[in-house]
Structure 1
Amino acid sequence: MQLKKTLIQQIGLILLLGLFSACFKTYKGKINIDGSSTVYPLTEAVSEEFRKIEPDIRVTVGVSGTGGGFKKFIRNELDISNASRPISASETKAAAEAGIEFIELPVSYDGLAVVVSPQNDFIDYLTVAELHKMWAPESQGKIMRWNQIRPEWPDRPLNLYGAGTSSGTYDYFTEAINGKAKASRGDYTASEDDNVLVQGVSTDINGLGYFGLAYYSENADKLKLVPIKVDENSDAVAPSDETVQNGTYQPLARPEFIYVNKSSASLPHIQKYIKFYMENAGTLAKEVGYVALPPEVYKLSYEKFKNLQTGSIFENESIVGANLLELLKKQTD
């Protein structure tokens, strides 16, 4: 009995020492990342693979929305900021005033999925005009029922779910559908956490929401995807790898980004991480439900990083319908 007790004590001591060692491990480098919940699955997948080959480099990835990430980035709290939209003019100005320079790197394509509950048996597609009617600022308190969108649809409440105002998804969706970023009705269930939106729509027969395609893919058994028509005369197109990459899923296909703090870019562990990211983003994007960029875009982006080329390719360009390859070539020429 005494031997058994001693053995248990020794095992407990070993476990305690192991835990103590893990908590106080000395790393050769640390990488702080935060921002978009939409870009999070890709960056976390890259980071997980990177940790396997570089266990002495600590990579932490947080989620506070694109806008929240940029606020931390501008306060010099981050090495890298995940973003599901380009940095805005006001954020660029704030960064300049704070002495923060950034390197903008596109990492994948994403389609915004418009979804309803699987119990919704009447919706077949939506036009951009119908989405605008649902989400326009002037619709607040007025467009409240499904039959106000199409008379043949049921006289039931229209319950909307969408990205919170700090989300890059919110900025892109409002620009694409309402013509101006951040122009939206406010009487809807909002969250920067896409999992909250998934839960809301999937359990609400009268609900409709939007979020990144990856979150639909992860929860396809709980949701019904709604194809989109640019207008009544066009075909209804659902988001997929093919339709997002070839540009037929419009206007809800968009690029996603990481922004690297220039002051961090000279650090060897950051250089290793970005090289790994650019080399593996295409493969890992497919694994987590996003669409890989053309290989030439990753190549040009990495050259841009190595050359410490700062600024945004969207400074005077709209992101809706943008051609990444042309914009990158224009910036690097």
Structure 2
Amino acid sequence: MKKFKGFAITAMLTGVLAVATACGSDTTKEKSTSGTGDTAAKLSGEVIIDGSSTVYPIMEAVTEEYGTVQPDVRVSVGLSGTGGGFKKFIAGETDLSNASRPVKDEEKAELDKNGIEFTELPLAYDGITVVVNPQNDFVDHLTVDELKALWIDNGKTKMWSDIRPEWPKEEIKFYSPGTDSGTHDYFNEVILQDAPMVANATLSGDPNILVQGVTGDKNAIGYFGYAYYAENKDKLKDVSIDNGNGPVEPTHETIGGDYKPLSRTVYTYVSNKAVADKEQVADYTKFAIENAGKMAEEVGYISLPEADYKKDLEKLAELTK
């Protein structure tokens, strides 16, 4: 599996990674010869992306590959969370907005108010993975109801024995993505069903902080995108989820299938105007769609059916007519 090169350090220090080289915001184009002998347009300019930390590894990998094809296009990929990314997209500050949940109605309204038309492009499947410390030798699976009982605030300190009497009477430490995160929103929707989360949960927009929290406390529990579990599986223990048909572990085979209700599609949203006006944005977006499945698999997610990527490309083609 592809490693997230420098991500743990760079993301925590800066919250953003600029990938590729060159400068300038205007698009220029000249003919160049690719490594395959084909003649391709050489582009320059900027592509500005922000949003989901879950989608970030996919787009980081895409951007690294794109830099070998179009080295003079500067692509910056931020990770301010799905909600934070949409705020920038609404303000017209970005060309693409990565999201680990669909755009909300209120975000659509703000985009419409600002005259920003957009296109939703599904990229991959992810399975939100619930994890505990490897020293935890009693939790092997949780029902959806138990997961809900764990995370919903009841005004009291939660003990493992509150969930199952035979479990230790020890305080649970909670680690969750921050409120700007689409992963937080999705978990809130399908598990908490909009009830308040435990007040003492440690929230962070950086999944690496959550990984560190869970690995550092034997009574910890957390959740985040599957790729971050896969990258740290030697330090974490995943928890199978029972949605009524028996426990199901998040794996390449179950995510997008039987791993419910924590399987989901992740997306990028592109500004229609940016695609129409900036050739480098159109070119990068096309490259991202063509390579999303392969890159998703490399960083630990699950590719969509080829037909879905074909639909994405058809949507993009309509924007560039």
The number of residues matched between the two structures is 282
Mapped pair 1:262 → 2:272: yes
Residues 18-60 of structure 1 show CA distances to partners (whole Å, capped at 9, x for unaligned) of xxxx997557220000111000000010011001110011100
Quote how far apart the aligned CAs of 1:141 are: 2.5
Quote how far apart the aligned CAs of 1:140 are: 3.7
* C-alpha contact (below 8 Å) 2:128/2:226 kept by paired residues: yes
* C-alpha contact (below 8 Å) 2:96/2:270 kept by paired residues: yes
User: Which residue of the other structure, out of 290, 294, 306, is the alignment partner of 2:305?
Assistant: 294
User: Which residue of the other structure, out of 250, 253, 257, is the alignment partner of 1:239?
Assistant: 250
Mapped pair 1:284 → 2:295: yes
Structure 1 gaps of 5+ residues are: 1-21, 310-333
Residues 255-282 of structure 1 show CA distances to partners (whole Å, capped at 9, x for unaligned) of 0000101110112111111111111111
* C-alpha contact (below 8 Å) 1:140/1:187 kept by paired residues: no
User: Which residue of the other structure, out of 28, 36, 60, is the alignment partner of 1:44?
Assistant: 60
Once residues 238 and 175 of structure 2 are traced to their aligned partners in structure 1, the CA distance between those partners, rounded to angstroms, is 14
Amino acid aligned to 2:181: S
Structure 2 length-normalised TM = 0.85
CA 1:260/1:183 → structure 2, altered by over 3 Å: closer, same or farther?
A: farther
- Stretch deviating more after TM superposition (259-268 or 26-35): 26-35
Once residues 26 and 96 of structure 1 are traced to their aligned partners in structure 2, the CA distance between those partners, rounded to angstroms, is 29
In the other structure, the counterpart of 2:148 is 132
User: Which residue of the other structure, out of 185, 199, 208, is the alignment partner of 1:186?
Assistant: 199
Identity of aligned residues (%): 51
Once residues 120 and 21 of structure 2 are traced to their aligned partners in structure 1, the CA distance between those partners, rounded to angstroms, is 33
Amino acid aligned to 1:159: K
User: Which residue of the other structure, out of 94, 106, 116, is the alignment partner of 1:78?
Assistant: 94
In the other structure, the counterpart of 2:240 is 227
Once residues 307 and 203 of structure 2 are traced to their aligned partners in structure 1, the CA distance between those partners, rounded to angstroms, is 37
Give the greater-gyration-radius structure (CA): 1
What root-mean-square deviation, in Å, do the aligned CA atoms of Structure 1 and Structure 2 show?
A: 1.7
Once residues 272 and 23 of structure 1 are traced to their aligned partners in structure 2, the CA distance between those partners, rounded to angstroms, is 16
Structure (1 or 2) with the greater helix fraction: 1
CA 1:47/1:228 → structure 2, altered by over 3 Å: closer, same or farther?
A: same
Once residues 190 and 72 of structure 2 are traced to their aligned partners in structure 1, the CA distance between those partners, rounded to angstroms, is 43
Mapped pair 1:157 → 2:171: yes
Amino acid aligned to 1:172: Y
CA 1:107/1:172 → structure 2, altered by over 3 Å: closer, same or farther?
A: same
What pairs with 1:1-333 in structure 2 (closer than 5 Å)?
25-26=23-24, 28-136=44-152, 139-142=153-156, 144-180=158-194, 183-231=196-244, 234-245=245-256, 247-266=257-276, 267-308=278-319
Amino acid aligned to 1:203: G
* C-alpha contact (below 8 Å) 1:47/1:59 kept by paired residues: yes
Once residues 143 and 230 of structure 1 are traced to their aligned partners in structure 2, the CA distance between those partners, rounded to angstroms, is 26
Structure 2 gaps of 5+ residues are: 1-19, 26-43
Structure 1 length-normalised TM = 0.82
Once residues 217 and 108 of structure 1 are traced to their aligned partners in structure 2, the CA distance between those partners, rounded to angstroms, is 16
In the other structure, the counterpart of 1:326 is none
